[in-house]
Amino acid sequence: MSASPMESGPSPEIEIRGRTVRTDEARRLIEAHPRVARARLEVRRSPSGNGAADRLVAHVVPEGPSAAPAAPEAEEKRVGDWNRIYEWVYGDMAQAGGLGDDFVGWHSSYDGTPIERSQMCEWRDATVDRVLSLRPRRVLEIGVGTGLLMAGIAPHVERYTATDFSPTAIARLRAQVADVEWGDRVELLVGRADDLSALPASHYDVVVCNSVVQYFPNARYLAGMVTAALNLVRPGGAVLIGDVRNLRTLPAFRTAVMAPQLPVDPVRARAAVELSAYTERELAVDPDLFAAVLAASQDGAALDLRVKRAVHHNELSRHRYDALLYRAPLAAPAAGTDPVELGWGEEVADIEVLEKALSALPGPVRVSGVPNARLRQEVEAARLLEALADRDRIVAALDGAPDAPDPEEFHALAERLGRVAVLTWASTGAPDLLDVLVLPGGTDGPVAAYRPADPSPEDVSRYTNDPTRSAAAAAFTAALASELAATMPATLLPDDFVAESDGRH
């Protein structure tokens, strides 16, 4: 996203709490600080109209790289913070459902309410089905949590090993599996995702890490875990990194979440969303990261990356995806590498036209640039925000009907024709665009649907945000306020400092 304009307001002077502040002089003194690139000042008026409660706020862009790699101590602190949070959650939570049905803690980011049970079951079942479609005998799950996936997979395999960094979670699951008939095939271990050294190499058919990587501290940590996991699966086996938050759709997601509370002023509204995305506390990952990790791995053979199967439209189906990485050698080449190419809006205009085209094309067919009904409104809202549209237009865009096909329509079409559809993110264009690959019925094994734009194994940090920025921003503004208080006249010193994004992710 582009940076917000750094302006001091329409007047070179601001009246606040009985004093006159020359904004150009205050800004000059703030920008003279070596860690400040740009600054702007504004008055935050009290909602009650009490002028004595008004605040002078300095919005500052830090000097230097906006995405510097996290220091080892910051990385360790990040992992430790999540560990403490989940130790408390698992220790405090009451049993809300049977094994595999405990959805406590799954709340919507849009309104804070629990996500409907039917939607959570759909989300869980889609991942269970994906794992079982690989026909594994030995499975390892990294980050088992409350056992949502384990309960659906373990009864169908010979051995299920699961780890979690929470001793409380593992103790809870051990007590639960003791009462089920398949409990003797389950092994539960306390362990971190970045230390898999105690597990046997080339042993598992599938390694699963689902809805976990958003708690990782950075791209390097994620890439290291994926590389280590590939070493644990047998040749031809697969590593499923599931429920990954998409970095490309993060601006649209934050726009939708914040829309009802956005400031009326368009510049402030855009700055608020940019700051929210910039300081996002969970790891969001560009799909190209997995292509980069695969390219750097001696064990990697194929990447099968797909959007999630779901009838319901929610943040899980809109903004998350699954990456399946296969270890070499493969029994057969990945499917879909040489399809007939069609463009949405060019050779194909709608589902009916596509159905007619497929009737004449029995082999693999790729349809590129397909708009995604799940995301259409949020991406349009983000576009309006970027263009400084007013808040009412942004909210109206979110409430409108999407002018796009639902992803599940392509699966239904393929099933009618006895074919298989695989949907993945388009590597270029707007973040709501998909590529649809239609394959002959019975296609098995990896599918080369995703086409990375620019995989760069040398620098995986470019493919994620930095979840440590939130804490870093707070530390930066606190230090800046303290240092400027010692050098600036009290009449010019802002009451509050807010760090803003420079527009780079």
Averaged pLDDT, 489-505: 79
Asked if 423 and 305 count as a contact pair (C-beta separation under 8 A), the reply is no
Q: Is the pLDDT of residue 6 over 90?
A: no
pLDDT tens for each residue of 129-142: 999 999 999 999 99
Confidence band for 197, pLDDT divided at 50, 70 and 90? very high
Q: Side chain identity at 339, as an amino acid letter?
A: P
Which burial class, exposed, middle or buried, applies to 64 when counting CB atoms under 10 A from its CB (0-12, 13-18, 19+)? Answer: exposed
Model confidence at 83, pLDDT cuts 50, 70, 90, reads low
> What average pLDDT is seen over the chain?
90
Q: Are 502 and 279 in contact (CB under 8 A)?
A: no
- What mean pLDDT do residues 234-248 have? 98
pLDDT category of residue 76 using cuts at 50, 70 and 90: confident
Radius of gyration of the chain (CA): 25
pLDDT tens digits along 299-318? 888 999 999 999 999 999 99
Token couple for 323: 């990456």
CB neighbour class for 33 (10 Å; exposed up to 12, middle 13-18, buried from 19): middle
The per-residue pLDDT for 224 is: 95
Residue 328 has pLDDT above 80, yes or no: yes
| Coil, helix or strand at residue 424 | strand
Domains and CATH numbers, the chain: 13-70+468-499 (3.30.300.30), 72-463 (3.40.50.150)
pTM: 0.84
Q: Which residue has the higher pLDDT, 377 or 65?
A: 377
More confident residue, 76 or 269: 269
Candidates 276, 262, 134; CA nearest to 204 is 134
Q: What is the pLDDT of residue 81?
A: 66
pLDDT digits (tens, 9 = 90+) for 436-483: 999 999 998 999 999 998 788 888 999 999 998 877 787 888 899 999
Nearest-angstrom CA–CA distance, 72 and 38 = 29
- Per DSSP, 299 falls in state S
Average pLDDT over residues 33-37: 93
Residues 6+ apart with CB under 8 A from 223: 289, 292, 293, 296, 460
Residue range 337-353: average pLDDT? 95
Q: How many whole angstroms separate alpha carbon 463 and alpha carbon 372?
A: 22
Place of tokens 């009802």: 260
**Res 186: pLDDT:** 98
The confidence score (pLDDT) of residue 46 equals: 67
**pLDDT above 70: residue 4:** no
Model confidence band, residue 86 (pLDDT cutoffs 50, 70, 90): low
Average pLDDT over residues 281-306: 94
pLDDT for position 95 = 56
137: tokens are 């005998």
Per-residue model confidence (pLDDT) at position 121: 97
**What pLDDT score does 233 carry?**
98
Residues 6 or more apart in contact with residue 283 via CB below 8 angstroms: 213, 214, 215, 216, 217, 218, 219, 222, 245, 464, 465, 467
pLDDT top residue among 50 and 361: 361
Q: Tell me which amino acid residue 244 is.
A: V
Three-state secondary structure call for residue 193:
coil
Neighbouring-strand partners of residue 322: 306
For residue 284, the number of C-alpha atoms closer than 13 Å in the C-beta half-sphere is 21
Give the pLDDT score at 13: 80
Write out pLDDT tens, residues 394-416.
Answer: 999 999 999 999 999 999 999 99
